[in-house]
Amino acid sequence: METEETQVLVLVARPGAADWDRLYGQLRESRADGPRVVECDVSAFDPADGGALVVVGGLARLQLTARRGGREIRLRGAGRELLELLELTGLGEQLPPR
């Protein structure tokens, strides 16, 4: 989902390897002259369902991919638990909410 000013990537509730590959691919394929800030909608993800550290790692890799293209990721719909986990892992400043 995109507008002229914003690219939005959507994280599913329980992302698997194919989901991450899709997100990385969408980010890489988007035009270099596209929006500088890319939003990643994480509202479907619930850390209580498990896999929270995998999601944190995937989001960190997504941010690295974005930065290589001169852009950055902002999280949309991040719950308190995910934000706290990002802070605990030292990634809170690297993956801020929008």
Please answer whether residues 62 and 27 qualify as being in contact, where contact means their C-beta atoms are separated by less than 8 angstroms: yes
- What predicted TM-score, i.e. pTM, was given to this entire model? 0.89
Confidence check: pLDDT of 97 > 90: yes
Q: Given pLDDT bands bounded at 50, 70 and 90, which one contains residue 18?
A: very high
Digit-coded pLDDT (tens) for 51-65:
899 999 999 999 999
Q: Given pLDDT bands bounded at 50, 70 and 90, which one contains residue 32?
A: low
Please answer whether residues 2 and 27 qualify as being in contact, where contact means their C-beta atoms are separated by less than 8 angstroms: no
Q: 3-state SS string over 24-78?
A: HHHHHHCCCCCCCEEEEECCCCCHHHCCHHHHHHHHHHHHHHHHHCCCEEEEECC
Q: Which two tokens stand for residue 54?
A: 């995998």
| Domains, the chain | 7-88 (3.30.750.24)
The amino acid occupying position 45 is F
Cα 54 to chain centroid, rounded: 12
